[in-house]
Structures are given as C-alpha cells and as structure tokens.
Amino acid sequence: MIKKIEYHIKYINNFKPSNINELNSFKNYYQNKKGVLKLLFNEFKNINNDKKSIGEKINYLKKIIDLKINHYKNIFINEKNDEKKRIDFTLPGYCYNWNGKHPITYVNDQIINIFNNLKFKTVEDREIENDWNNFSALNFKSNHPARDMQDTFFIKHNLEDHRNNIMLRTHTTSVQIRYMCDNKPPFKCITFGKVYRNENISSRSHCFFHQIDGFYVNKKVSFIDLKDTIVYFIQQFFGRNTKFRMRSSYFPFTEPSVEVDILCLLCLGKGCKICKNTGWCEILGCGLIDKNVLNNCNIDSNKYNGFAFGIGVERVASLKYKINDIRLFSENDLNFLSQFNII
C-alpha cells in the first residue's frame, strides 16, 4: 500500500494542469466519493501492520492534493481576471470623436492665408542648417550668444571655426536667406516650419516650436509698408478692435527693429503669468532688413530694401484660444485636442 501511495505522491508532484478543466478532472479523480483518497482510506481500515506510517503517508497525500488544487485554482482565477483586462488586438480600435486639425496646424494655415491675401508667396526648406544660412548671413557676430551650445542644438560644432558648424535651425529666417540668395527681387514671401532652441521646457517656452517668417524686398520699401502689413495681420487674426503697441528692439538682421505686443487676451491687461503681469504679450518681432543681410545675399542694398517679421505660432495660438501652458500643444492629449474640433 505504501508503494501505491508513493506512486500517487510522485504523480501529484509532477502534475501541471494547463487549464481549469484539467484541474477539475484531477480534483474529481482524487476527492470525489469514489475517488482515490476514499478508496485508500477504506483500504486503510483493514490494515493491521505499519498503521501509523501508512496513516501519515495518506494524510501527506491528502495535504499535497489540497495544496495542488488551491495553487492552480488561484492561478486560473487570476488568469481569467487578466484576460478580461487584456487588449485583443484583433478587435477594431476605439472610435474617438476627433476628425479635425491640430490647433497649431489650423493657426499656421490661418496665418498663411492672411498673408497669401497680401500676395505673399509660401516657401519651405530644410530644418538642418549650416552656419552661414542660420547665423552669418543674418549678421550674427562670431561671439553672439545664440552661437553657444547652451542656446542652439548643434550637430557639428567647432568653437574655433564656426563656418563649418551644422545645427537644427533656430528660426525659419534661414529659409529667407536661401530664397534671397537664389532669387532676384522683387519678391514677397513667407516661410514656415518647426524651429529648435536649447531652452528649458516650461508653460511659456519649449525646446521646439513653430515659426512663420515673412519678408518683402523691392525698391523704396518703407517702415509704413511694414506697419500696415502688421496691423492688417493683427486685425485679421485677433480682431479689428485688438489693442497693440510697437516697441523699439534689436535684431542682428533688421534695422530699425521693433517688437509688437497686443493686450493680453487672457487677463485683458490686468496682469497674469503669461504676460508677466505687464498686461501685454509679445506676438512678433520685425524691422527693415539690414543692408548687410541684403549684400550677403548678393542683393544690391543701394537699389533694393525690404522688411521682415517673425511670428511664433504657439504664442499667438495660446493667446487666441486663451491657453496658459504652451506644453499642451505637443503632448497629444486627446482630451485637450478634442476641445477644438476644427475642420
């Protein structure tokens, strides 16, 4: 009888059911009214020799049967719960009610359409630039802070000789240089795309953003032409009653240079963190193109002049839609994006 019990102990120790049905068959085989345990206990009653050791063996057998059943029962229960949570990739995906443009795409298109109405031609070009088109041709001095590693994402950087440096463009003005070098004036263009700055990511700034640059080169272009263009853009994009101001500023590639602010649309001039409690928000920089820039592009600055401007798309989108955190535009949060539902 001991050999029979040891046979069952060995079988049970090696038993590994693959599903709940095999476990139930195992349980019935050993624990039902006509199962192995019942037969062994009946046989045990008629034994007179080694009754103590045989009884211990039978009790041990009963114990490991219970342990085996409880162990795999818990496993199959957990697997069943996990199965309910598991994604079936063969099923159709969830249908989100989202069929519109990203707000940045919409604002970008809207700005382009405004300037297209003024006969500005749209041009695009590369995001990886050389030093000439990104800095030197735009009148940046060799020691300008923008050339430092902490301000620009360099792919190739040489401190001693910056002429062969390669970088992610820091502004779409580099496209302006490429266009002016390859075309003869007069011309009126806007450039757009993603630009990169080595900045800390916060509610007001990001390491990448979208920019639209415009430039007009012709004979006898005046600052009044620039102002009229900017006023037209503000009234078309923000509304005819939008309050704005122009402040004298400095850019290496324009002279004179100004920054344009509008009354903060989030706090209506009362002061908030977006406008730094000034009540005003900068929306673009602009000015008359510096003569050195025209000469660098082989354009006769004695015959031609022009103006240029640059708009941060995320900046004006934040003001238009009253969004106080610029990071929301790049996080792909459908709860945020679905609020726009712009076709």
Query: What pLDDT, in 10s, does the model give residues 119-162?
Result: 999 999 999 999 999 999 998 877 666 666 568 898 988 877 77
Q: Say what angle helices 20-31 and 51-85 make with each other, to 10 degrees.
A: 160
Radius of gyration (C-alpha) of the chain in whole angstroms: 38
Q: Which CATH class is domain 103-337?
A: alpha beta
CB count in 10 Å sphere of residue 97: 8
* Helix or strand holding residue 88 (H, E): none
In this predicted structure, what is the pLDDT of residue 148?
Answer: 65
Query: What pLDDT, in 10s, does the model give residues 262-303?
Result: 998 888 888 887 788 889 999 999 999 999 999 999 999 999
244: left (phi over 0), alpha (psi -120 to 50) or beta: beta
Query: What pLDDT, in 10s, does the model give residues 81-119?
Result: 665 556 666 777 666 555 677 889 989 999 999 999 999
In this predicted structure, what is the pLDDT of residue 146?
Answer: 64
Residues 6+ apart with CB under 8 A from 4: 40
Q: Is the pTM of this model over 0.75?
A: no
With a cut of 90, say whether residue 48 has pLDDT above it: no
